[in-house]
Every structure is written in C-alpha cells, then in structure tokens.
Structure 1
Amino acid sequence: MNTRLTRRGALLGAGIVAAPGLALAQEARDLRIAVQFGITYLPLTVARELRLIEREARAIGLPEPNVSWLQLSGGAATNDALLSGNLEIASAGIPPVVLLWARSRNNLKVHALASLVAAPLWLNTRNPAVQTIRDFGPQDRIALPAVRVSFQAIVLQMAAEQAFGAGQHARLDPLTVTLSHPDATAALIGGRSEVNAHFGNPPFQNQQLEHPGIRRVLSSYDVVGSRHSVTLLYATQRWRDANPRTVLAFRSALSAANAWIVANPREAAELYVRAERSNLSVDFVEALIRHPDHRFSIEPEGVKHFADFQHRTGQVPIRLESWKDLFFPEAHGGAGT
C-alpha cells in the first residue's frame, strides 16, 4: 500500500505552519473520537488505519496520543456521548451540530473543528406507489439515523416544506423511525420489515439500488440546490482551549487523509473494505470514492442552508450569521460556505 503523504501540504491545510505562538503546556494524552457508518467517514477510517493523528502529533512535538474510536449511529447518540464527557471529538451531520452549538452557547460552547466529505444523501424506497415524497402515506416507514434531528431528518423536513408548503415541514416526521444505516439497508433489501424506505448515505444508498424494486425518490443535493458537506467534527470549547496543538495535529491528519484518498482511490477502497469488514467489492467502493459528486475536504460547504432552515422553523433559536460562527478559529482560514 502506498502510504506516502505530503506532510507540509497537510500542515498548511490545517493551519499548523501559521500558528507558531501556541502555548506548550501539557496536553491530554487520551483522545476519544466518534465515528459513524459509511463512506462519508472514510477520512477518519484512513486516519485510524494509517495512524495519521499519532504521526502528526509527533511531527509537532507532542507525545503520541492514545487514540480510541467509538462507533456510534446518529447525531443524537453522538451529542449525548460528548455532553456526558465520553468523547473528545464527535462526528455528526451539520444539523445536529448546529443544534448543539445553539444549545451550548452559555456553557460547553461546542463548535466544529472541520468537515469530512461533501456527498449527496438519497431517500430510497421499495414501495412502487411512491414516485415523490408526496406519495408517502401512513403505511410507510422511513428509516434514518435519528428521528427529527439527524441530517437526513432535517433534509426530509426541507423536502416536505417544498412539497407541501410553508408550515408543513414536519408532515412526514410521524413516518420516520430510527435505525442505523446497516440495519436499515438490511430491512429495505430483505423486504419483510415495516421499513420500506431509507434516507441513508453512501455506500448503503448505492448498495440498495443494486436490488430490483428499490429506487431513489430524492437526493439531498436537489433539495438543497447545491453540493453540501455531510459530516462535521466538533468538540467543546474547554477541550479545544486545553489542547490547541492536538487540535492542529488532528486537522493536519484529516487533510493528509483526504489528500491520500484523492491520490490513491484504489488503495483507499481496499482499506475501507478491509477495515470495515465490508462485503462490498473494492471496485464498487472505488467508484464511490471517484464519483464527481463526492469531495474530500476539511472545508465545509452549505452550512448556512441547514442552519437557516433550522432557525426559520423554530428548531434553533439563534441565527447563524456566517459558517464561521459554527467553527473554531482554526478553520476560519479556509474557503468554507
């Protein structure tokens, strides 16, 4: 496997080279990071398997951290783990992070550290009567990572408002159920569950469409009207302030992981299949990595689309004036939106 990575490019992308004045106080050795299911978390998988966080920490004079990875499903579970002190760095879709940012402004002051991947999320169904979301009825069940708060749940609300009119964004919420992407995929493909639709992410959504009778109802890119990031990585103000060099090493590791994925899509696909013990073929995963709709970058895209919707519908009391309001200063030098 070709694991040669350009450290200086990664350091520049993370802002390390431009931050010579950081204090050299002792930082925490233990680093617990939440990861969820799917290709949208591939940079974290690469960072874990190639030990990039440990490498970048050593490069800036830190002792090698003890990194542990917690597999969770959905922004609600991830937020609970962060708030209870069981995580240092959480990962979830944009809407759950916006919600926690707003709720924690007077205490933990949660902000984002970086983005992971921009990718479309698809709503698939096996119900032949459903051509658009207007066709869903009381007999349908739509699986997603967390009802009402996950990225998929918010996009479904945005689509419902577009289909049914102002004030109707929650119209399809009673049809949603909480399931992890692997379990929802098994239910949809198996055909024996009450779940007959799934709002997922790659590779699960793509895997589902390989089966007869399952088709796509909508794409989040169509709902939003542009490309957008899916997942953000975030932490509390207290942890970030106490561990500034660890933050920079972490961002550098993500930049290095993204650069390696783009330069080595075949090897990245092999790594994913092996690390996740996936039954998908390497060719299938490589095609997803190479897909033009997917962008691997720590710079966020489309944050305001979701934050504005959450504020307008009363789910978040504070209006996000700029994407930078949601992020720690380490991310402000990038070309986010």
Structure 2
Amino acid sequence: MLLLRRLATALLLLGGASAAHAEMTEISIARQPSLGHLPLMIMQDRGIMEKNAAARGIPNLKVNYRTFAGGAVMNDALLSNTIQFAAGGVPPLIVLWAKTRHAPLAVKGVAAMNSMPLYLNMNRPEVKTLRDLSDRDKIGLPAVKVSIQAILLQMAAEKEFGPGHHGDLDRLTVTLSHPDGMRALLSGTEVTGHFTAAPIQELELAKPGIHKLLDSYKILGQPSTFNVIWTSSKFHDENPKIYEAFIASLDEAIGIINADRTAAAKTYVKLSGDASNEALITSILTDPQVTFTTTPQGIGQYSDFMSRTGMIKEKAASWKDLFFPNMAGKNGS
C-alpha cells in the first residue's frame, strides 16, 4: 500500500511538468553497502559522472551518492523523486516495473552492474539442509519477501519442498542491513542465519563456527546478476544527456575495475567503512565467479518465478522488456 501511495503522489507531482525544460542540475544516485556497488563507488571517487555530464553540455552537475539498506526503501525514494537512479538486487526492479508499467513513470532498468554469488551463512553447525531449519532459527536479510535474498530463499524452498511451498521459510526471515546482519550472526543472539552479499559473506565465513548453507548460483543453476540500476521513464525522457552520461560513466567505472582490480579494491576499502581489507576485497574481485558487466544474466528466472508465484501481476515476455532500449543489443538472459 505504501508503494501505491508513493506512486500516486509521484504521478500528481510529475503529471503537470512541462515537456520542454532544462535538464536537472542536481541528481542523487542510491546504492547499498556491498561490493556489488563498486562501480558506483568508483564513479563517486573519481568524479566520473560530473566529467561525462560536462562533456555533454551540462557543466557543474551536482551528483549526490546516498546509501540505503534495501531496494524497497529506494523504490519509495525513486517514486518521490528524492533519488533519480536506484541500484540494488533484481527483484525490487521487477516489482516496480510491474507496478508502473502502464503509468507515466514506467520504471525500467538502466543496466546490470555485476554477476556474483550470494550466500546464506549459518551459525548452527547442525543445519546442513533447508529441512534442518526450525522455528528456533531466524534468517536476516535486507528486506523480507522482496529483496533478492528473500526471493532466492523462496526459490530454494520451492526446489526443496515442492511447488506451492516457496513461502514456507518466510516466517523465519527478519529485515536487517548487511552490517547489522553480520553483527547479529556473529554474536549468536538475534539470528542463526544471514543471507547477505560480498564482502560481508566472506567476512562471516572467516569466523569459527560459520558455514555456508545456500549459494545463489546453485539455486539458479547458473551465474546470475546480483545488482541492477533503474530509473523512471519520466527522468529518462526529460534528461537524455544526464542519462547518456550515466551510461558512459558506468561503462567507464566497470572498465576501471576490470583493468586493475587491486586498485579497485583500494577504492572499496577507502569508501565502504566496513571491516574488510584490501587483501580480502582483491581475492573476491579476482574470483572467476565474480564479473563486473552491464549485461544481465539470469534475470528472466526471477521475473518468471515472481510472476508464477503471484508476486507480480505483469509478466515480462523477455528480460529486455524490463530495461530501457540502450540494453537491447546485449546478449543477456
């Protein structure tokens, strides 16, 4: 209901806007506290977005980078025009795409950022399969029922318990940010499991008594996109130069990461404020399972699952339906 109220408010605010106007002079880009958002951190650290906007005739663009705990909160901010670009897991994009598909806002994906595995870690050694979980367990994740971790848990539950049982483990989940989830898992007081992302998952596994229960690549049966970026059609259409500058900046930042992952690790450690170090981040970045790319992988699996289980009412015929035309030439899935 909150999302629908936000959408109604946004339509009222934006509906009267003139079609002919100057592009924005200040934008906000949202990210979350995980290694998957490294391209945005590179953009922030090197002023790449500002440079590329100036090259397209928008000098002195003010770019704010804001950190959010989860995609659901970012969607509210995007609908209220508090932020212009949201970045997070795949499901929040799909949810907002389905809700706004026939509205003037029509939120769509801008690009993928990476493909990397996500782990569910446990602090109870006796939990070796999903069938070992009980009501004594609590699993922390960024947002119950809507985060990418929550949807992956539902997919895993369906594979383990059968069709119609995808929600069997939802009762065990609680919303915690990545850092708070790690603290809770390691202290053993609030949760017994934490479905998270790099580098938090690797920091947890380095501690005695923590083991991995689920791996997103195994759930999906393939490498898959972790993070995507999305915005509204309203912003896309009214700010073409800024949008183009953003695409160029993202490509440039990913190129920087892929050219020198050690240097990229230094940037992450400098900006993240988490407990990781350069050696750990470099080891993750050089893992063959981790790729930084704008090409989506496995997004169709999320969309099909969310449609089939009733989470969204609109079904995308192709992953390309979820994105703006700049992604049409990508060999994604």
User: Same fold by TM-score, threshold 0.5 exceeded?
Assistant: yes
* Structure 1 partner of 2:315: 319
Q: Structure 2 counterpart of 1:188, which letter?
A: L
Task: Find the aligned partners of 1:90 and 1:266 in 2 and give their Cα distance.
Answer: 27
Q: Structure 2 counterpart of 1:204, which letter?
A: I
Task: Find the aligned partners of 1:27 and 1:63 in 2 and give their Cα distance.
Answer: 11
* Structure 1 partner of 2:227: 231
Q: Structure 1 counterpart of 2:270, which letter?
A: R
Are the aligned partners of 1:140 and 1:194 in contact in 2 as well (CA < 8 Å)?
Answer: no
Task: Find the aligned partners of 1:136 and 1:72 in 2 and give their Cα distance.
Answer: 30
SS in structure 2 of the partner of residue 278 of structure 1: coil
* Structure 2 partner of 1:154: 151
Give the one of 185, 189, 192 matched to 2:186.
Answer: 189
Task: Find the aligned partners of 2:235 and 2:167 in 1 and give their Cα distance.
Answer: 35
Judge which range, 136-145 or 51-60, deviates more: 51-60
The TM-score normalised by the length of structure 2 is: 0.92
Task: Find the aligned partners of 1:79 and 1:300 in 2 and give their Cα distance.
Answer: 20
Give the one of 114, 135, 156 matched to 1:117.
Answer: 114
Pair 1:207 & 2:207 matched:
no
1:1-337 maps to which residues of 2 (within 5 A)?
Answer: 26-107=22-103, 108-191=105-188, 193-337=189-333
* Structure 1 partner of 2:3: none
| Fraction of identical pairs, as percent | 39
Are the aligned partners of 2:33 and 2:272 in contact in 1 as well (CA < 8 Å)?
Answer: no
Post-superposition shift, 1:325?
0.3
- Return 5+ residue gaps in structure 2 as ranges: 1-19
Post-superposition shift, 1:60?
2.5
Task: Find the aligned partners of 2:60 and 2:256 in 1 and give their Cα distance.
Answer: 21
SS in structure 1 of the partner of residue 117 of structure 2: coil
Task: Find the aligned partners of 1:137 and 1:31 in 2 and give their Cα distance.
Answer: 45
Task: Find the aligned partners of 2:272 and 2:198 in 1 and give their Cα distance.
Answer: 14
Deviations 1:12-54 (A, max 9, x none): xxxxxxxxxxxx9731111111110111000000010011111
Q: Structure 2 counterpart of 1:118, which letter?
A: S
The TM-score normalised by the length of structure 1 is: 0.91
Task: Find the aligned partners of 1:83 and 1:216 in 2 and give their Cα distance.
Answer: 36
Count of residues paired in the alignment: 314
Deviations 1:289-312 (A, max 9, x none): 111111101111111010000001
SS in structure 2 of the partner of residue 86 of structure 1: coil
Q: Structure 2 counterpart of 1:103, which letter?
A: K
- Return 5+ residue gaps in structure 1 as ranges: 1-23
Post-superposition shift, 1:221?
0.3
CA RMSD of aligned residues (A): 1.4
* Structure 1 partner of 2:17: none
Are the aligned partners of 2:137 and 2:172 in contact in 1 as well (CA < 8 Å)?
Answer: yes
Are the aligned partners of 1:78 and 1:90 in contact in 2 as well (CA < 8 Å)?
Answer: yes
Q: Structure 1 counterpart of 2:265, which letter?
A: A
Task: Find the aligned partners of 1:51 and 1:184 in 2 and give their Cα distance.
Answer: 31
SS in structure 2 of the partner of residue 259 of structure 1: helix
* Structure 2 partner of 1:4: none
Task: Find the aligned partners of 2:60 and 2:246 in 1 and give their Cα distance.
Answer: 12
Q: Structure 2 counterpart of 1:271, which letter?
A: T
Q: Structure 2 counterpart of 1:308, which letter?
A: D
Deviations 1:248-293 (A, max 9, x none): 1101111111110111111111111111233322111111111111
Judge which range, 69-78 or 272-281, deviates more: 272-281
Q: Structure 1 counterpart of 2:306, which letter?
A: Q
Post-superposition shift, 1:95?
0.9
